[in-house]
Structure 1
Amino acid sequence: MSTAATAPTQFVEVGGRRLAYRDFGAGIPLLLCLRFRGTMDSWDPAFLDGLADNGFRVIIFDYSGLGSSTGERTYNPASLARDAADLLGALQIEKAAVGGWSVGGIAAQILLATVPQRVSHLVLIATTPPGQLVKSGEPLFYELAKRDNDFEDVVALFFEPRSAASRLAAEQSEQRIAGRTTDLSPAVPYEWAGPQLGDGPRNPMFPADAVLQALKNTKVPVVHIGGDHDIVFPVENWHALAGELPTLRIVTFPETGHGPQHQYPKESADYIASFVKNAR
């Protein structure tokens, strides 16, 4: 059986573009939407394999025009959500658990709001809720996201630089990610991606009243998995909504940044499996 490191890149033609995806594991379909500047190779294999070991059919993909996919490239969240919906349709998956990391979490929320019948569970990782926020992200993210990143940038972006344990987790995660050496997706050019961000944090980051209302009225179980020091999308914004979203669970890891599933890959995968199998 394929793993995250060995699953071949496959393609589907849909809507006038070719979406690249990888599909491995067997069981409950779980579609994962990517972070900003990410490709399929940006996921930690230990996290993905942990999901597959827990009985998921794991599906990852590159957004239109990015990585190995063709089409018009954009970070418009509605377009990213359309990619996810089109891929589910092309793979003839009527309903799936849908997850998203960072901007991918915004796309996953839009997918829930627009085609709720396709989503059995919503797994949000280090992302932002729609609407007014109680805490904005840090300007540092906007500086780092607009340049080529070295290891120290990765630590600052996705881990907790002040924690020795988090820094060690960053080293281990980067080594695992580097373990796949063939059939890689081309990197997203930072020269193009950077200007898509704007100059700094906005509040709200995601002004979608329809999506917020969908979260307030959905019966679909929702979980947010975050770190206690996310410089991009502070987890405090989810805690502020805990009394308003009827199906929301919140998991917050200590001494952790914007990549909780990379710092705690097995624990994150095990929790997601328990959530999907038991939350109704």
Structure 2
Amino acid sequence: MTLRHIEVERGVAVSVRDLGEGDPVLLLHGWTLSHQAWDRQMRVLADDGHRVLGMDLRGHGWSDAPLRGYGVDRLAADAATVLRALKVERASVVGWSLGGMTALRLVADFPELVARLVLVGSAGVAGARQPGFPYGPPPGIIENAMHGGEHGDRVGFRRQALVDTFASPPAPHLVDWLHGISLQTPSWVANECMTTLLRAEQLRALDELTVPLTQITGLRDPFTPIEGARWVHEQTGSTLVELDCGHYPMFECPDDFDAALQKALAA
């Protein structure tokens, strides 16, 4: 298991955990977390015969955190640079939440690098209500609350944000662990990435989608409404897997999630 540091632009490197051998799978995590959230899935997929690449988005985990540069196009370009640097011709790409939007943009901008796409807790096209996508709250409501929370009580805000996006109260030790990972992400990164998550508009990417798409979504996800995932399913003919959980299927229903993910990657 190798932890690599790959320069994606001058002075900015991202970290990638490289595990196993076989068909490559790139895992992209959610807002303020890191590849550590995929720990169980990295092991399961490597045991299945995959080369698993757990990438820390810029500003997250052990990746560098510049003051600016967190648009979805930049995050996707980083992922493309990682795949090329590791000599991966085509990979299955699994994106969760912010990582889902990044994964969809990666397919749109670098289609030659992606074999199949799996969106987890993400509609991919938008993280909040947008013209043409009437699902979720208006972006300004969440954005203003988040920026205020980051400025006034970053530590408390991050913890509450984690708890609030589970369908049922999570175990305290799990919250403690995720909270510690989240606090590795600086406030300037959290602010910019939340704005990206809420305001990036990628409806055009659906029209250009040429790879198989699987969506794995929680029926009780308070951040990503199931109606948005169903709308994307209707537009694309994707495979839609609905699980009885919130925004964290890898922790709330890990067995069902692993089975759905393995099936999507084997299709």
Q: State TM-score, norm by structure 1.
A: 0.77
* Mapping 1:190-209, distance limit 5 Å: 190=187, 192-194=189-191, 197=194, 205-209=199-203
Q: d(CA) in 1 for partners of 2:250 and 2:232?
A: 22
Q: Secondary structure at the match of 1:233?
A: coil
Q: Aligned residue for 2:136?
A: 136
**1:268 and 2:263 are equivalent in the alignment:** no
Amino-acid identity (%)? 27
Q: d(CA) in 2 for partners of 1:67 and 1:263?
A: 22
* Mapping 1:23-102, distance limit 5 Å: 23-41=18-36, 43-70=37-64, 72=66, 73-102=68-97
More helix by share: 2
Q: d(CA) in 2 for partners of 1:13 and 1:241?
A: 34
Which residue identity lines up with residue 194 of structure 1 in the other structure?
N
Note the C-alpha offset of 1:14.
Answer: 4.1
CA deviation vs aligned residue, 1:184-220 (integer Å, no higher than 9, x gap): 897002355236535xx96xx43234312113xx2x1
Q: State TM-score, norm by structure 2.
A: 0.80
Q: CA RMSD in A?
A: 3.0
Structure 1: stretches of 5+ with no match in the other structure: 1-6, 162-166
| Cα 1:206/1:264, change in 2 over 3 Å | same
Note the C-alpha offset of 1:272.
Answer: 1.5
Which residue identity lines up with residue 185 of structure 2 in the other structure?
V
**1:104 and 2:99 are equivalent in the alignment:** yes
Which residue identity lines up with residue 160 of structure 1 in the other structure?
A
CA deviation vs aligned residue, 1:11-58 (integer Å, no higher than 9, x gap): 1234323221111122221101121112233x1422332222322221
Q: Which has the higher contact order (CA 8 A, sep 6+)?
A: 1
Q: Aligned residue for 1:164?
A: none
- Between 1:102-111 and 1:21-30, the stretch displaced more is 21-30
Q: d(CA) in 1 for partners of 2:105 and 2:84?
A: 16
Q: d(CA) in 2 for partners of 1:185 and 1:148?
A: 9
**1:12 and 2:18 are equivalent in the alignment:** no
Which residue identity lines up with residue 266 of structure 2 in the other structure?
K
Matched pairs, number: 251
Structure 2: stretches of 5+ with no match in the other structure: none
Note the C-alpha offset of 1:234.
Answer: 1.2
